[in-house]
Structure 1
């Protein structure tokens, strides 16, 4: 069940990040991968105690962490490609 939750959270976070960086428009599979990797990056940047600091439920903090990580990855990709976000 944890893997399924990670995939669903990753899909949602990747989709949200893709909407913020509208110039990229990835496929749904790339959005899922982006969100899952974003969860790892966001967990590394923000730490695991985001839900304690902000007082958010676990699922909401996981989505927020994955979203921030996906934004970081898309920002780096935009810098590499030379596109403005």
Structure 2
């Protein structure tokens, strides 16, 4: 996640990204789980963006990266649970 956004903005983006990933992956979690999934998704998305050497483009880009990372996280957790 883009640390230049500030802690409060990163938390808000994490909650939104976790909620979006929850809806995309058809899961049902609470607010705290959405925050955790969104923040971890932001880390995963950030690593993928760094690996692909893509320049970041603001909070919308951070939200998209965090949501994508959160979806990947939920997919992997779903594989492990099976």
Query: 1:65-80 counterparts in 2 under 5 A?
Result: 65-80=65-80
Cα deviations by residue, 1:14-71 (Å, 9 ceiling, x for unpaired): 000000111x3111110011101110110001226242xxxxxx01001001001101
- Select the residue among 47, 55, 58 that pairs with 1:49: 55
Consecutive unaligned residues in structure 1, runs of 5 or more: 52-57
Moved >2 Å (runs of 4+): none
Query: Computing the radius of gyration over CA atoms, which structure comes out larger, 1 or 2?
Result: 1
RMSD: 1.4
How many residues align structurally?
A: 75
